[in-house]
């Protein structure tokens, strides 16, 4: 596999934040008018990230701190996520995960807090997948990245599909980071590798559907129907993956496609942006967008510590 360069590590984190911040104004809309998206791209205002990037920053900092030792300290990580929510509750969090954070802040162990909702099953939302990209920088193999991802997910998302989705996104980020940018991305092999680390019927079904959709190149609205665009992991991680696989060498187009899918736009675009940025590197991301990104300096510094 191709080694990770500093530029690609930066691309991973900056791509995530750009997708999040550009997609955020459209979150929850059934459809996105391309003209509205162009207006957002050209606006002079700062690009402000939401919970997706806020929690990815927490995870990246945690990985950087524990790099030489344990890599992931779940009890501490749970408290760090909950602290980030308490410090900035206005970052566009939904209603679910903050309830878990509230219990953790009150001293409830994360293993109990995450099972206190949804009849003891816990959340299958995309909230652990949206923040997981930095794990791809810490994983020493595809399987290691997927395993670390599951552990990072468990502190907020007890449901197996919340964890499968997180493993899928981290593994995709690992493969994107280590892909050879001088050759076209081998889509069938990419999807085959993901199927090896995400062993679940409903996920294999989605991965098969993605292979077919990459051949048909559907409009974004059709991708929403075929794969989903909601805040569940199963209804958004595959959609982000499609946005990337249709545009693996153009991060701006991957992000645009993901936003035009509608629904959970910030999160789908954050996941697609992380994958595309990891493949192209930060130097290929639109400079005009990066200049507006409020968290850019912090993200670059963290990428450098992790690469």
Q: Give the interface with Mg ion as residue ranges (CB under 5 A).
A: 50-52, 92, 264, 266-267
Length of the chain: 307
Of 6 and 117, nearer to ligand F2R (C-beta) is 117
By beta carbon distance, the residue nearest ligand F2R is 96
Return the residues of window 157-196 that contact ligand F2R according to CB under 6 A: 159
The distance of Cα 258 from the centroid of its chain, to the nearest Å, equals: 12
Taking contact as CB under 6 A, which single stretch among the options 35-43, 94-102, 142-150, 293-301 is the one that binds ligand F2R?
A: 94-102
Residue of 54, 57, 71 whose CA lies nearest to 139: 71
With respect to ligand F2R, which residue has the nearer C-beta, 177 or 241? 241
If one counts every other C-beta atom within 10 angstroms of the C-beta of residue 305, the result is 15
Rounded Cα distance between 274 and 8, Å, is 10
| Contact call for residues 17 and 296 (beta carbons, < 8 A) | yes
Scan for tokens 């670059």, then name that residue: 300
Out of ligand F2R, Mg ion, none, what residue 123 binds, judged by CB under 5 to 8 A for its kind, is: ligand F2R
> CA 28, CA 12: separation in Å to the nearest integer?
25
Integer angstrom CA distances of residue 81 from 14, 52, 96: 20, 11, 14
Asked if residue 121 binds ligand F2R (CB under 6 A), the reply is: yes
169 binds, among ligand F2R, Mg ion, none (CB under 5 to 8 A by kind): none
Of 104-112, 121-129, 134-142, 279-287, the window that binds ligand F2R (rule: CB under 6 A) is 121-129
Report how far residue 258's alpha carbon sits from residue 260's, in angstroms, rounded to the nearest whole number.
Answer: 6
Beta bridge partners of 125: 232
Q: How far is the CB of 96 from ligand F2R (least distance, A)?
A: 2
Cβ neighbors of 86 (< 8 A, separation 6 or more) are: 101, 105
Binder of residue 127, out of Mg ion, ligand F2R, none (CB less than 5 to 8 A by kind): ligand F2R
51-90 mask for ligand F2R (x: CB under 6 A)? Answer: xx--------------------------------------
Least distance CB 284 / ligand F2R (angstroms): 25
Q: Which of 53, 114, 169, 232 binds ligand F2R (CB under 6 A)?
A: 232
124 touches which of Mg ion, ligand F2R, none (CB within 5 to 8 A by kind)? Answer: ligand F2R
Which of the listed partners (Mg ion, ligand F2R, none) does 121 bind, with a CB threshold of 5 to 8 Å by partner kind?
ligand F2R
Q: Are the CB atoms for 73 and 41 separated by under 8 Å?
A: no
3-state secondary structure of 199: coil
Coil, helix or strand at residue 125: strand
**Chain contacts with ligand F2R (rule: CB under 6 A):** 27, 50-52, 92-94, 96-97, 118, 121, 123-127, 130, 159, 231-232, 264, 266-267
């Amino acid at each position: 596999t191709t080694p990770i360069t500093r530029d690609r590590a930066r691309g991973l984190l900056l791509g995530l934040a750009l997708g999040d911040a550009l997609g955020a104004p459209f979150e929850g809309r059934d459809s996105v008018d391309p003209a509205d998206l162009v207006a957002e791209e050209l606006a002079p205002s700062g690009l402000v990230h939401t919970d997706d990037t806020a929690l990815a920053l927490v995870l990246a900092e945690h990985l950087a701190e524990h790099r030489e030792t344990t890599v992931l300290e779940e009890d501490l990580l749970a408290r760090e996520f909950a602290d980030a929510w308490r410090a900035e509750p206005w970052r566009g969090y939904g209603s679910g995960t903050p309830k878990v954070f509230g219990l953790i802040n009150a001293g409830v162990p994360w293993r109990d807090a995450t099972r206190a909702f949804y009849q003891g099953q816990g959340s299958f939302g995309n909230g652990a997948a949206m923040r997981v990209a930095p794990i791809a920088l810490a994983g020493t193999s595809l399987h290691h990245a997927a395993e670390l991802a599951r552990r990072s997910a468990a502190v907020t998302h007890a449901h197996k599909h919340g964890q499968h989705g997180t493993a899928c996104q981290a593994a995709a980020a690992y493969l994107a980071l280590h892909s050879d940018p001088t050759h076209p991305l081998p889509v069938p092999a990419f999807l085959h590798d993901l199927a090896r680390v995400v062993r679940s019927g409903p996920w294999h079904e989605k991965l098969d559907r993605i292979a077919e959709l990459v051949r048909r190149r559907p409009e974004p609205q059709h991708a929403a129907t075929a794969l989903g665009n909601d805040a569940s992991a199963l209804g958004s991680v595959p959609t982000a993956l499609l946005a990337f696989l249709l545009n693996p060498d153009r991060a701006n187009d991957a992000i645009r496609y993901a936003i035009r899918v509608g629904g959970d736009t910030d999160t789908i675009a954050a996941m697609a942006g992380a994958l595309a940025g990891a493949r192209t590197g930060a130097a290929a991301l639109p400079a005009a967008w990066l200049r507006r990104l409020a968290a850019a300096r912090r993200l670059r510094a963290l990428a450098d510590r992790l690469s």
